[in-house]
Copies of this chain bind each other. A is one copy, B any other.
Amino acid sequence: MALINQSTIAKTLNVSRATVSKALKDADDISAEMKKRVWDLAEKLNYIPHYHAKRLHSQKTNLIGVVVPDISNSFFSFVIDGIMDIAGQSDYHIILTVSREKADTEEENILTLLSMRVDGILLAVSEETRDTRIFEKIKQSTVPLVYFDRAIEGFNFTAIGIDDRDAARKLIDFVVRCGYRHIGHLGGSMLTDIGRNRRDGYIDALKHHHIPVRDAWVVEGGFTRADGYRSFMRMQQNGPLPEVIFAANDQNALGAYDAMKELGISFPETIGIVAFGHHEFNRIITPSLTIINVNPYNLGKKAMEIMLGRIRGEDMCDKKIFLPVEIEIGESLQISENVSFK
């Protein structure tokens, strides 16, 4: 016997559907006796209310749509973990979609979420996204959108992430103070703000220390492990390699590590790697990277909290929110004793 509805209960009890509906939600104007009869039968017939029929009426779904580029990237699974923790506390549910870094999949996902009338959308933009018409649509729909990690500029949506440019500057500054001057960059996608900002911070820091930027040591790439592999191979073909490589993220670093292994380049003795990353991942990488540590779980929590504020109507000003970061020193650099990071 499949799931039943209120009508079935009403018919069996010879009362109206309205009465059943009210009894089920323990309304004041239903007799205790009637309620008991309804509850007992509901229990017996395994009645489970229809979520969407209910919400159809209330115009509020308590659903939050999430779009991530890649769920097998542990960064995003930790973000989702944070999102779901906050969602669970507030009786919200998550519709998870994955763009696979494809702009058209992302667009499809957003349309699906809008069609499900989610109360809000949390989005980390795919690497490929260029066409921004879909963001116009979201704006028009008045569904609140909060970017996390990666954002598209120009639509005045709230974004939460880190100050990538500043963080990259600090990381490279640290590397320089460790005594290195030959520093390369395996970049992320230059279509994303974080890709550009991390590269710009890298260049800022080199310039600040009067170190020339060598084109052969700056490779445009992406945020996947495969991207890191390809980027390293490209840099290696450009001629002599730097002492330290700054990878756009930890996945990319892992790809570089793959390439070095394949090429027989020892790590970290020959080349050190530093990257943007997160602690949970870093703890299990070999040998430990030196990273700018972003906490993805907190990022997810914070993003969801902001979303809830948005839905409640508080905090309506669109802005960019930065999470704190810190440098986590791994075994990937030979650090002279007198370097400290405040």
Point out residues on A near B: beta carbons under 8 Å: 1-3, 46, 48-53, 55-56, 61, 71-72, 74, 77-78, 80-81, 84, 88, 93-98, 105, 111-112, 114-117, 137, 140-143, 254, 280, 284-287, 297
Contact = CB atoms under 8 A, between A and B. Distances in A.
A140 B141 CA distance: 40
- Copies of this chain present in the complex amount to 2
Contact of A48 (B71, B77, B141): B141
Given A96-B94, A285-B284, A77 B72 contact: yes
Nearest to A74: B74
17 contacts: A2-B142, A46-B137, A48-B115, A48-B141, A50-B117, A51-B116, A52-B61, A53-B56, A71-B77, A71-B81, A72-B77, A74-B77, A84-B97, A93-B97, A93-B112, A95-B95, A96-B96
Given A50-B115, A52-B52, 4 more contacts: A3-B141, A52-B117, A56-B56, A94-B95
Contact of A114 (B3, B61, B72, B78): B3
A287 B286 contact: yes
Q: Which 8 residue pairs are nearest across A and B when measured between Cβ atoms?
A: A286-B286, A52-B52, A77-B77, A51-B115, A51-B116, A96-B96, A72-B81, A2-B142
A93 B80 CA distance: 17
Contacts of A2: 141-142
Given A71-B80, A280-B72, A284-B254, A140 B46 contact: yes
